[in-house]
Chain A
Amino acid sequence: MLSVQPLPILAQQDGTLLVSESHPRYAEARDLLRSIAELRKRPGEWHTYRMTPVTLWNAAASGWTADKAVRELSSLTRYGLPASLEREIRLLMGRYGKLRLVEDEGLMLVSDAPSLLSEVLSGRGFDACLLERPATGRSRIRIRPDSRGWIKRELIARGYPVVDEAGCRQGEALQVKLLGRTEAGQPIALRDYQAEAVEAFAPEPANGREDGSGVVVLPCGAGKTWVGIGAIARLQCETLILTPNATSVSQWIRELLAATTLKEEEIGAYTGESKEVRPITVATYQILTHRKSKEEEHPHWKLFEGRNWGLIIYDEVHLLPAPVFRLTADLQATRRLGLTATLVREDGREGDVFALIGPKRYEAAWSGLEREGWIARPTCRELRVPLPEETAARYMEAPKRDRHRIAGENPCKLDAVQRLLSQHPEKPTLIIGQYLDQLRSVSRRFGFPLITGSMPQRERERLYDKFNRGEFSVLAVSKVANFAVDLPDASVAIQLSGSFGSRQEEAQRLGRILRPKRDGADVFYYALVSEGTDEEEYARKRQRFLLEQGYQYEQARFESDAGLREEA
């Protein structure tokens, strides 16, 4: 009989798996799904997971068999497991391990399945990376060492994962240890989930688990940098760290010096202003992709060959620019660690992250970390601010392309800022905006310092430090502070305006205030949205990612005279 028992999972033929969090067997179902699928969203009672070839291969790599996956899934699926899905599970998991890359006096592609090699290598483009012809029935084919990344990417695109057993270079050895305590005497230890992430990426040799490259997904504020530091300490090798901006470079260096035995002379910054190549080098994506003209080679790519790196860390891997992907394809002999809060890319190139950096090795859900107090639980509030009459008229008359800015720069938002600041006096507050004119107005009107992209890096860091020391409580920032800026005490964020419907930007901005506060204070995130304008729809789109992560926005309307009238 087909099962119609009230079980927690609903399985779709396309691999979508829905699970009810209110079901008594939810925990059992969630643990199963985390092993064989990936969480796409959890906006309400029903969480959506998706089983993809990659998730099934990840499961196979962790020791799951198709039989086990089918059996366990069937036992928890309400309307039975669709036959087509069962067949897909068996087919895809059966392919894992059929192709392997091994080192045997050169790089060899190996298969135990007769004729598989000649079949999969018959596609276009493979000839150039083979050192031998793929005759029928051969079980080993020698391939060019420099095609290791390309061949893995192409074969996985054709549905055949390659188990890379050719190993990574160890890199130049480097003595690194985590300190027991900070200079101020605070104990230093990885949190449980950070230690689990390090272990998932680079297991202790004694644990006998496969190691390799991959991605660790942790929410903003959960301390991804510490996972990177833990990985360096575990692998004890020279490491290249790539980050989105110069502020983040400084913060990495500061954290490394504060938490490890590394000395200043062992750590270099490779940015627009400084070109130090040292055993631990922290660089920006921007400098790597910089070149004077499109015809010119990328002059800074030599950094990858500048030392014998044993590990490359890609911070905020979802921001990785396309040229760095191309470069990464040639770096498959070097171990790679991606760190991110979200695998969602606005350009939809999540697949490239998997193919070239590696599979997801570890993910901690935001809600779990919140429950355990590792990240703060924010109150998210969308504040609808009416447009003044004149601005509303200008908005109506303006061409569509100009409306977003008019709505974003709604002058009444400044009144709303004033009201919000009065509700959170003395709380460390960030005012974040898209438009510099608007930010300058805020800065002038209230006398807050302002950080923008045109400010020299040194000056920015001076202001961040002052904010962190509590010398002033409100800081206005442009989008330069969207990513990789560590402002641990910020507990209120007011978003004045944003770049259209970027889901990623909303998540990152919220992330600025998610560090748990020393005094346990609540944190608040306000998104100011001009009422009756296209900003409402953009705001909805921006909030979608957070909604899917289980955050809910309250909605309120700002009324300049009568105060805030709660609607939600």
Chain B
Amino acid sequence: MKLADTLARLPAEEKERLQSQPLIRDHMLSGHTLDAALSGAEWAARWAEAAKPLDRQLLLRLVRSYAGQPFGEEEAEARLRQAPAWTGAEIRVALARMRRDGVLFAIRKAWGERLLYVPADLVGVWQLVLRPLTAGTPIRKEPDLGEREAQLRLPLSLALLSAWSDIRRKGLPLTAKGAPNKQRLVKLAEAMALKEIELKGFEFFALPDPAVPANVALALDLGLSLGWLIREPQRIVAASSALESWADLPLAAVDAKLLEIVTIRYAGQEATMHWAAIALRAMPPHEWFEADDALRQWGEELVERERLALDRWTGLLVAFGWMERIAGRDQVFLRWLIDPTLPALRSTERAHAGHDGPGDGVLYIQPDLDIIVPPEATYGVYWRLEQIAERTSLDIVSTYRITRSSCIRAGEDGYTLSTLTDWLERVSGAALPDPAAHALEDWFGRIGKLSIVDAKLLRVASKELADRIAGDGPLSDWLLERLNDYIFAVKPEGVRVLARRLSELGYPLAENRDSARPGSSASEADSSANASEAAAEASAVKAASGADLGWIRLKQLLAIYEPDGSIPKREELFPGVESIPSVWLEKPRSYHPSTRREIIERAMAWRTGVRVKRVDGWIEFIPEALVTADGSWKVEGTVRTPHPGGTAKVEWSGDSLGELMIELPDGASELPRTNH
């Protein structure tokens, strides 16, 4: 779940609590909303600077282990306390602190289980803020071209455009069970520049319906989840507002947006792949670099699993036309073809580059009605050209052609000669060439001249009565046209009013069995239009509830669970803490062996450490197992050595322990003492 969705679901008092956090409050004082304050890289960097080392390391490991997927506290504690000898208590307290600070959020399942998560759109920000790229200066030398994967690669924005446009034009019928029509699927898949085989290795594209080709599943998933497409009971259609919010963006900006979505939505399904995807996004655009430069973010822990994840993900990026890849003899070279920078890390100047205007004057219209569309054209221009022209090529520079049949189609979509001409002249920044203008005049000279209107017939027995009806004021609103002396065409929706008025005039209508049948044309048309509106409304409601509208079945959907804004109290993290002698937590002392054992057992239950005096001084000790034998007991555990991160396994008899106390992690005392 993204930050905005998360915040939208939080109760007001939780939001207030967040807003009162000093770091957040500072940001909000400078004019940011809570959403903007929490999603900015600057806030993340400040938090990291102020955070305890353990918190920073823990968050990085969470990001790497789970990306934006939810995790249970116990599971995380078990998984993360291994390597750096963190105690479970330290982890629990750090998690609570990160929840307090608005870094982590929680949901609660119906049966009470609590899951934590990093908002999906902030996972990358944390990864790059906490582990900035230090190694890997991009190489300047062009690698051997012969090895480059040099197939026709369109950016994903254009591959999707053709599929979405096809659905806008023809719809995608669904069976009663919700499966798409197979013939249409085949045609959609064939027409897409991105081929099914290029998505091999990403099995989740086959969910929920393996019969849907992966490339079409991708187009449906992105279209539906963005709200450009709407699922109706019997078909998938394009929303009337499709692409509206992207209409002013040039292709490069659309692809940057798609990269962000694809990273969160698909790479986010596997934490390792998401980590690789974000690591790649730290690399500069348009420069060749070695794949290992990106991998170095993993440092010495680099293993085959990460290499494989990177390889799979770059394969997808190449297929999406966003990256070039060359497999050299010993190394893989990569080059971004778009700007991969995370939105939160993009400078204001770069974020707005190319967004200055709606794309006026970017097209070239030739006298033969060929239209040349450079990549500076906005996505909205492409989308509209798909509606009014025939696509002849999608490429770095795309070309369209306006034809008679494309004008007929445009006419059906409501264009007139003047609206089409105005738009073409605006986006081309010039008057249409004469031959082009003449052709449009000819074609539109015959478009829109005929129309089919729903009407009902009112048959009248005599001409005189028909004359009276024609002259009746209240009836005139409902009469469309007098067809001859005895028959009127009347508005179908006015039949009831008409019948009442005629009855008032003393001429009740004779029953007409045909019109009494259900499913007459007018009602069918109405019901079809209503179905679209209802589906759009249903989609909006579903989206507002945070439910995922996409085609592909994703992993855990957090939106179906209740948000949990409560911060764990001390008693919850350390059960029984209020009932033990407070001195156990405050000061080392010598105790009776049975009390020593009780203290050790309590520390083990809380998975925290003890401070113990040995002959060689004070030791930080994490007890892990207590063994009783021959009437005595001994404790096994880990000792933290003075070296940073250093540990040693030890086994001590209970008798050898001197003064001791339970050590709760830093910050535990700041936690509230009682539950609500």
Interface size class of B (residues with CB under 8 A): 20 to 34
A116 to chain B, nearest CB (A): 18
Please state if B395 and A14 are interface contacts (CB–CB under 8 Å).
Answer: yes
CB neighbors of A among B317-372 (8 A): 324, 337, 364-368, 370, 372
User: Interface code B45-58, partner A: CB below 8 Å = 1, 0 otherwise?
Assistant: 00000000000000
**CA A2 to CA B372, docked complex, whole Å:** 20
**CA A10 to CA B145, docked complex, whole Å:** 21
Interface of A is mostly: mixed
Kindly list chain B residues whose C-beta atoms are within 8 Å of the C-beta of A43.
366-368, 370
Please state if B145 and A86 are interface contacts (CB–CB under 8 Å).
Answer: yes
**CA A299 to CA B382, docked complex, whole Å:** 59
A544 to chain B, nearest CB (A): 6
A46-B438 CB under 8 A given contacts A82-B396, A83-B150:
no
A13 within 8 A of B: yes
Which residue on chain A has the smallest CB distance to residue B445?
A532
A398 to chain B, nearest CB (A): 18
A18 within 8 A of B: yes
Which residue on chain B has the smallest CB distance to residue A41?
B368
A266 within 8 A of B: no
B509 within 8 A of A: no
A222 within 8 A of B: no
Kindly list chain B residues whose C-beta atoms are within 8 Å of the C-beta of A537.
404, 442
CB neighbors of A among B527-567 (8 A): none
> Which single member of B370, B372, B434 contacts A10 (CB below 8 Å)?
B372
**CA A267 to CA B608, docked complex, whole Å:** 114
Please state if B434 and A46 are interface contacts (CB–CB under 8 Å).
Answer: no
B286 within 8 A of A: yes
A127 within 8 A of B: no
B110 within 8 A of A: no
Interface size class of A (residues with CB under 8 A): 20 to 34
Kindly list chain A residues whose C-beta atoms are within 8 Å of the C-beta of B145.
83, 86-87, 90
A552-B438 CB under 8 A given contacts A79-B397, A86-B145:
no
Please state if B364 and A45 are interface contacts (CB–CB under 8 Å).
Answer: yes
A18-B397 CB under 8 A given contacts A43-B367, A46-B366, A540-B439:
yes
Please state if A10 and B396 are interface contacts (CB–CB under 8 Å).
Answer: yes
**CA A45 to CA B442, docked complex, whole Å:** 24
Please state if B396 and A547 are interface contacts (CB–CB under 8 Å).
Answer: no
Interface centre among B151, B287, B324, B442 (most CB of A within 10 A): B442
Which residue on chain B has the smallest CB distance to residue A548?
B368
Please state if B438 and A568 are interface contacts (CB–CB under 8 Å).
Answer: yes
B286 to chain A, nearest CB (A): 5
Which residue on chain A has the smallest CB distance to residue B370?
A43
B178 within 8 A of A: no
Kindly list chain A residues whose C-beta atoms are within 8 Å of the C-beta of B365.
44
How many residue pairs link A and B with beta carbons under 8 A? The number is 81
B424 to chain A, nearest CB (A): 14
Please state if A87 and B396 are interface contacts (CB–CB under 8 Å).
Answer: no
> Which single member of A1, A16, A41, A44 contacts B286 (CB below 8 Å)?
A1
Please state if B435 and A552 are interface contacts (CB–CB under 8 Å).
Answer: yes
**CA A18 to CA B433, docked complex, whole Å:** 18
B374 within 8 A of A: yes
A568-B439 CB under 8 A given contacts A2-B337, A13-B395:
no
B421 to chain A, nearest CB (A): 15
A271 within 8 A of B: no
A84-B433 CB under 8 A given contacts A13-B396, A540-B439, A547-B367:
no
A524 within 8 A of B: no
Please state if B375 and A79 are interface contacts (CB–CB under 8 Å).
Answer: yes
Please state if B397 and A12 are interface contacts (CB–CB under 8 Å).
Answer: yes
Please state if B366 and A87 are interface contacts (CB–CB under 8 Å).
Answer: no
Which residue on chain A has the smallest CB distance to residue B372?
A46
A11 within 8 A of B: yes
Kindly list chain B residues whose C-beta atoms are within 8 Å of the C-beta of A543.
435
**CA A84 to CA B368, docked complex, whole Å:** 29
B450 within 8 A of A: no
Kindly list chain A residues whose C-beta atoms are within 8 Å of the C-beta of B146.
87
Kindly list chain A residues whose C-beta atoms are within 8 Å of the C-beta of B197.
none
**CA A2 to CA B438, docked complex, whole Å:** 40
Please state if A536 and B442 are interface contacts (CB–CB under 8 Å).
Answer: yes
A547-B368 CB under 8 A given contacts A11-B396, A12-B393:
yes
> Which single member of B287, B364, B396, B435 contacts A79 (CB below 8 Å)?
B396
A553 within 8 A of B: yes
**CA A198 to CA B150, docked complex, whole Å:** 41
Please state if B442 and A12 are interface contacts (CB–CB under 8 Å).
Answer: no
B152 within 8 A of A: yes
A555 within 8 A of B: yes
A16-B393 CB under 8 A given contacts A2-B286, A43-B370, A553-B435:
yes
A555-B434 CB under 8 A given contacts A79-B375, A537-B404:
yes
B288 to chain A, nearest CB (A): 11
Kindly list chain B residues whose C-beta atoms are within 8 Å of the C-beta of A86.
145, 150
**CA A547 to CA B367, docked complex, whole Å:** 8
A12-B286 CB under 8 A given contacts A43-B370, A83-B324:
no
Kindly list chain B residues whose C-beta atoms are within 8 Å of the C-beta of A568.
434, 438
**CA A137 to CA B374, docked complex, whole Å:** 48
Please state if A84 and B395 are interface contacts (CB–CB under 8 Å).
Answer: no
CB neighbors of A among B359-402 (8 A): 364-368, 370, 372, 374-375, 393, 395-397
**CA A205 to CA B146, docked complex, whole Å:** 40
**CA A543 to CA B374, docked complex, whole Å:** 27
User: Interface code A512-543, partner B: CB below 8 Å = 1, 0 otherwise?
Assistant: 00000000000000000000000011001001
Kindly list chain A residues whose C-beta atoms are within 8 Å of the C-beta of B404.
537
Which residue on chain A has the smallest CB distance to residue B149?
A83
B170 within 8 A of A: no
> Which single member of B151, B393, B397 contacts A84 (CB below 8 Å)?
B151
A45 to chain B, nearest CB (A): 6
Which residue on chain A has the smallest CB distance to residue B154?
A13
**CA A45 to CA B430, docked complex, whole Å:** 12
**CA A46 to CA B363, docked complex, whole Å:** 11
**CA A19 to CA B65, docked complex, whole Å:** 52
CB neighbors of A among B267-304 (8 A): 286-287
Kindly list chain B residues whose C-beta atoms are within 8 Å of the C-beta of A79.
374-375, 396-397
Kindly list chain B residues whose C-beta atoms are within 8 Å of the C-beta of A13.
152, 395-396
Kindly list chain B residues whose C-beta atoms are within 8 Å of the C-beta of A44.
364-368, 433
17 residue pairs of the A-B complex, CB under 8 angstroms, read: A2-B286, A10-B396, A11-B396, A12-B397, A13-B395, A14-B152, A14-B395, A16-B393, A43-B366, A43-B367, A44-B367, A45-B366, A79-B397, A87-B148, A540-B442, A548-B368, A568-B434
Known contacts A13-B152, A44-B365, A83-B145; 13 further A-B pairs (Cβ under 8 A): A1-B287, A10-B396, A13-B395, A14-B395, A44-B433, A46-B364, A46-B366, A46-B372, A83-B150, A547-B435, A555-B434, A555-B438, A568-B434
Q: Which 5 A-B pairs have the closest CB atoms?
A: A44-B366, A87-B150, A43-B368, A84-B150, A10-B397
